[in-house]
Structure 1
Amino acid sequence: MKHLISCALLAFSHAALAEDSTVFYLRAQTESLETASNRANHGFGMGELRWQTDLLRGVVTARHDTRDGDVLRVNELSLERPLAGGFATAGKKVMSWDVGYAFRPLDVVQQEDRRALNPVTLEGVPMLAWEAFDESRAVTIVWTNPGHGKREQPKGDGALAVRLYRQQGSTDQYAVLRVSARNGVEGGVSFSHVASDALEWHGSVLLQQRHDEWIVSRTAPPRWQRVDGGGKALAGLTWTTESKFSVLGEAWVDRTAARGRQRNVLLRASQTEGDLEVAADVLWQPGQGAYRGSRVASVGTTWKASPWLLSASLRHFSGAASHVARNVAVATLQYAF
């Protein structure tokens, strides 16, 4: 149940301040991209080190890429200490928010791509943060990219964000407020309600004083364009059987996306048998007028038997989305030490 998971995560965050751990991953991944004119293959090998002490947590990745060469990246490095009844964080950290699976309107800090095929390790955001919680409530205050104003990408902007969490019975409730030079004031709420052992539904809405919309034109390069007002909204549900067959349905609107990609409907089904999971989903993006819609279909399987992980996925694009890609295939092999 999502509200039990949320409480467990809060408890884990507190315990992590005193528990030492170190893990190292080796990962190999290959990707094949087919467009209307050609096919390109791309692969990389990566080592990832994660550690947690009572003072410091970090994630460092070293990557050899057939396309981009060698890359050494500090994905996370943060100092965490108890402070004023909660705990403070200073440094670079991944901080994902909200309740959605494919899209998260209230994810105003991390702003990650939730639909990536077999995504690589996330890169955190520089921040100063303070969090406090008890069994049913939590508050998080975050100053991201201190000293920065508006940068090239929204994730790099300097901003102040606050999130409130409350568990009330079988419902998790969230409220978020963010202030930045790019979007002005943004505020929103979300919830996740467990109706039964099998059924859960959730929703989010974010309202913005202004936003940058991604404009794609046939006569000019893609660009961001400032627009007054705006927002994002999501509604969804999950249904899971005792045999571990699960169905997810979500619909959302994102006014910051390019025209033709602002309205989305996703249907996903998955089956888990022991260490093996097989999943398939379809994303519809109904367009309007000159902005023709798209369909994106994906199928994938993951086998996870510690310390091994093996996954393979295939994604097919049709409609307007096929102008960028037709098919993408990704395979990943990972071993944990």
Structure 2
Amino acid sequence: MPRVDCLPLLLALALPAAWADEAPAVRGEWRLSGWDTQANPRGPLAEANRLVPGTAATAPPQALAELEARAEAPGWAAEVWLASVAPAGGRSHAEGRVNELVLNGTWGDWQWSAGQQRVAWDVGYGFRPNDLVGQEARRTLLAAATEGRPALQLERFWGADRALSLVWANPQHAGGSQRDALGADEAALALRGYQRLGALDAFAFARWGRHTGASLGAAVAWVASESLEVHASWRVLQRSDGWQIDPTAADRLQRSNPWQVGPQGGSSQWLLGLSWTGQARQSLLLEAWHDGTAPSDDAWTAWRQRGLAVASLGRVPALSAAAAGNLAWQASPLGGAGPRREHLFARLSWQPDPWLLSLDALVEPADRGRVLTASLHWQGDRWRLQGAWRWVGGPDASVLGALPTRRTALLAATRSF
């Protein structure tokens, strides 16, 4: 197994303790997980693999042993992640990262923090338009600690009913090139204001990114009764990052990937949702959202036409290898909160102690593509067991139906300390 340089990870835990006034509290988790995937028999990657076997193989079954350790004391916190990945039929390798390494304190009436830290905003579950800093991936099959972002943060609280947060995200990219600052890595200034109005939580957001410019947003969460909650979020953007194809690519074979992430014009995002909780600890979550930063319906139509044209070129023996590569590149824009702009999401769960059972469905109305996920959790004093299964598909013409993976199964056992 290749050796991972653990010195930066150990320093993340050890250095802050050098000036701590008291011994840090240490906690964490050991996790062993394994998953298996089934490749999509249709779509661009399947056609690429048919033309040149092995060109677009899906990920092999894998086993993953993980350690998440967190140490914190007044004035600082650190968290590291170490893993050993063992793919079936391949060589195992080690990975590691610092999830958090943050100093914190007070400055008059303000609280400050600086370093690698998690800043999670907004009120949605399946999609969060106003997650301006962390921009975390939503609906992951295995819930685990996420990697923080370099940030400087100032916060002030007026009791429990009003607060203001100011964040400078990714200051290390403030003078870098645009390629150093895409998506969540972009240097940006972000602001969040909070006001509680009876049973209503109201938020206002603003962000200025180094190359995406300004955006404004708002969100509300209203507890209508003991069992019903309603939430909404909205954001308008001056510019955003999105997948674009080289306009000269057309239906011709290319020597390099014609799909790249780059700046695009103004757009908007919104989410509407509600959650209901019953007395037997059953719950229902319904959400609908629009993501104007995703490719348009016309763009997906052109994407499909290009895929069909490239596949037809692959029938020419002399062009099959080049066509396979171009078809594999067609998978580049598939991902994110969902490939298309409009989504409907429903999640049904039941939590009879110590179990949690859930079933959710994500649907894209434009072409009836869908993702179904079922999971089962058991929680003990120290141990947590999880099984999950996800199916992705839809009509042949749907975008989700073209994703490279059709089914994913996961088993995980976690012990906390």
How has the CA–CA distance of structure 1 residues 114 and 313 changed in structure 2, closer, same or farther, with 3 Å as cutoff?
Answer: same
In 2, Cα distance between equivalents of 1:19 and 1:298: 43
Q: Is the 8 A contact 1:312 1:332 kept in 2?
A: yes
Picking from 263, 266, 271, the partner of 2:350 is 271
Deviations 1:171-194 (A, max 9, x none): 111111110123200110000000
2:360 is aligned with 1:285: no
Structure 2 distance, partners of 1:87, 1:167, is 20
Which position in structure 2 is the counterpart of 1:326?
406
Match of 1:249 among 261, 286, 295: 286
Q: C-alpha displacement at 1:261, in angstroms?
A: 1.5
Which residue is 1:297 aligned to?
A: 372
Within the candidate set 126, 143, 146, 1:119 is matched to 143
1:148 counterpart letter in structure 2: H
- Unaligned runs of 5+ residues in structure 2 are 1-20, 42-56, 252-256, 297-338
Residues 92 and 321 of structure 1: CA distance in aligned 2, closer, same or farther (over 3 Å): same
Aligned to 1:104: 128
Residue range with higher mean Cα deviation, 215-224 or 275-284: 215-224
Report the 3-state secondary structure (helix = DSSP H, G, I; strand = E; otherwise coil) of the residue aligned with 1:119: coil
Task: Return the offset for 1:32.
Answer: 1.0
Question: How large is the Cα RMSD of the aligned pairs?
Answer: 2.1
Asked if 1:228 corresponds to 2:248, the answer is: no
TM-score, structure 2 normalization: 0.72
Give 1:86 shift.
Answer: 2.1
One-letter amino acid matched to 1:273: P
Is 1:79 equivalent to 2:103 in the alignment?
yes
More displaced, 157-166 or 111-120?
A: 111-120
State whether structure 2 residue 222 is matched by structure 1 residue 142: no
Determine which of 188, 200, 209 is the counterpart of 2:229: 200
CA shift in 2, pair 1:229/1:18, >3 Å: farther
Per-residue CA distance 1:209-241 (angstroms, 9 max, x = gap):
111222479955432243221021000000011
- Structure with larger RCO (C-alpha < 8 A, sep 6+): 2
1:35–1:322 contact (8 Å) kept in structure 2: no
Match of 2:219 in 1: 190
CA distance in 2, matches of 1:182, 1:304: 45
Give distance in 2, aligned partners of 1:315 and 1:188: 32
* Counterpart residue number, 1:11: none
Q: Which amino acid aligns with 1:144?
A: A
Identity of aligned residues (%): 29
Instruction: Report the Cα offset of residue 20 of structure 1.
Output: 5.2
* Cα gap change, 1:199 to 1:20, in 2 (>3 Å): farther
Secondary structure of the corresponding residue to residue 326 of structure 1: strand
Q: Is the 8 A contact 1:154 1:182 kept in 2?
A: no
1:159-178 → structure 2 map (5 Å cutoff)? 159-178=188-207
More strand by share: 1
Query: Match of 1:327, as an amino acid?
Result: R
Q: CA deviation at 1:46?
A: 0.7
Counterpart amino acid of residue 307 in structure 1: R
Conserved? CA contact 1:269–1:281, under 8 Å: yes
Contact 1:261 1:286 survives alignment (8 Å): no
Aligned twin of 1:35? 39
Q: Which amino acid aligns with 2:36?
A: S
Compare the two structures and name the one with the higher helix fraction. 2
CA distance in 1, matches of 2:98, 2:163: 28
| Residue of structure 2 equivalent to 1:8 | none
Decide whether aligned partners of structure 1 residues 295 and 201 sit closer, same or farther in structure 2, where only a CA change above 3 A counts.
Answer: same
Point out the structure with max Rg over C-alpha.
2
Report the secondary structure of 2:293's partner residue.
Answer: coil
Tell me the amino acid that sits aligned with residue 31 of structure 2. Answer: R
Q: Residues 173 and 181 of structure 2 are in contact (CA less than 8 Å); yes or no, is this contact kept in structure 1?
A: no
Structure 2 residue aligned with 1:213: 242
SS in 2 for 1:313: strand
Structure-2 separation of matches of 1:206 and 1:174: 12
Structure 1, unmatched stretches of 5+, are: 1-16
Instruction: Return the letter of the residue paired with 1:301.
Output: L
After TM superposition, give the deviation of residue 83 of structure 1 in Å.
1.2
Question: Structure 1 pair 311/216, CA: closer, same or farther in 2 (3 Å)?
Answer: farther
Please point out which of 52, 57, 61 is paired with 2:72.
Answer: 52
Match of 1:13 in 2: none
Alignment size in residue pairs: 317
TM-score, reference length from structure 1: 0.89
Give how far 1:87 is off: 1.1
